[in-house]
Structure 1
């Protein structure tokens, strides 16, 4: 709910008002690039004074970072793995959810991954990738995979690959969404197989990853 829809006479806690302002800004990000969003424009949309935004966020740069942080948190919430599923099911579901989210919110995804708004945004982007890599690696370890540096680097490399493929698909959707999901999934297993460099170990790992906890 936007701040302007708050019933007359009601008082919000500072944290609630801040969240409402971010909600308005987050919707604005669907229509504008992060570099086009200003404190003044969001204040007008939210029905508050620009001074209030500066009070909550400190500067326009910090305000934009807070918007991207909210978008990143939203993405991670959607991608959080379901522990009741097997690692194989978690991966497939994660890819499907990721691609569907990006298809619905392309401007938001491009903002987090592509726009050059300073080192803090690059750090935020790296943090999102690191969280996703951690979830995948944990699933591997739970399936008794060797927690090697090579495996960790391969997972990170696959995430970068998937990101680039999905961005290319957004720019030129020459294949169906299901084909894109299948491609990302197949490449993941190929990378794991090459990293392990042991067909028997790979087959055993894949079998364990199909088991539910």
Structure 2
């Protein structure tokens, strides 16, 4: 066992530690987790653990960042031929929910990191929100086929950020209570975004048509 661990590359070792961290932080409060415990469970020395992560705060931030990366990749299903904007958004929400089902500890560790006062964690959350918002706005722009007015884009971006917070909380609630219906949540979230976008003043006619109830 020890020999096989020694053959791990630095990247593989780091990923192994992050995966273990996601499991532990997803099961217990941050303050109850000791960095020495992680090293012991991973079968590595404390010194090696600190080689990768200078302290527990940095380790936890790295866990949250890694989970954010995985979630971002998992929530980008390919667009199917003829798929509506509603269908694309709904598919993305379902992918989010599936990720939570398949990685409950890692997802919960990421949820624990979001919204904290720590500026490092806040910065990770901001980056994740920016990337998700840009992806959605790109999809919306593709449905329009033309550049959006600066004011419209500003209002649209604010709308998307608000929707991300709503969707985040709905997915967190299902992680707490898995009996909540995934299809219902996906429908609510997708309808919610399109309804909100449809209320943004001055959106192009093509976008208004794409978010209308008839287009869903």
TM range (shorter): 0.7 to 0.9
Q: Is structure 2 residue 63 aligned with structure 1 residue 67?
A: yes
Aligned mate of 2:89, from 70, 91, 100: 91
- Residue 161 of structure 1 pairs with residue 166 of structure 2: yes
**In 2, Cα distance between the equivalents of 1:206 and 1:91?**
11
- The aligned residue for residue 140 of structure 2 is 140
Matched, 1:11 2:11: no
Structure 1 unaligned residues grouped into runs of 5+: none
Check 1:136–1:55 CA distance in 2 against 1; reply closer, same or farther (3 A cut).
same
Deviation at 1:18, TM superposition (A): 2.0
- Between the aligned partners of 2:28 and 2:90, the Cα distance in structure 1 is 31
Q: Which residue of 2 aligns with 1:131?
A: 131
Given the alignment, which residue of 181, 184, 187 partners 1:182?
Answer: 187
Shift of 1:188: 1.0
Give distance in 1, aligned partners of 2:93 and 2:200: 21
- Distance in 1 (CA, whole Å) between partners of 2:127 and 2:185 is 24
TM-score for the superposition, normalised by structure 2: 0.79
Q: TM (normalized to structure 1)?
A: 0.80
Q: Would you say the 8 A contact 1:33–1:107 is kept in 2?
A: no
Partners of 2:96 and 2:171 within 8 A in 1: no
Count of residue correspondences: 204
The 10-residue stretch of structure 1 (123-132 or 78-87) with the greater mean CA deviation from structure 2: 78-87
Maintained 8 Å contact 1:26/1:70: no
1:155 is displaced (CA, Å) by 0.9
Work out the CA distance in 1 between the residues paired with 2:89 and 2:2: 40
Aligned partner of 1:78 in structure 2 is: 74
Query: Gaps (5+ residues) in structure 2?
Result: none
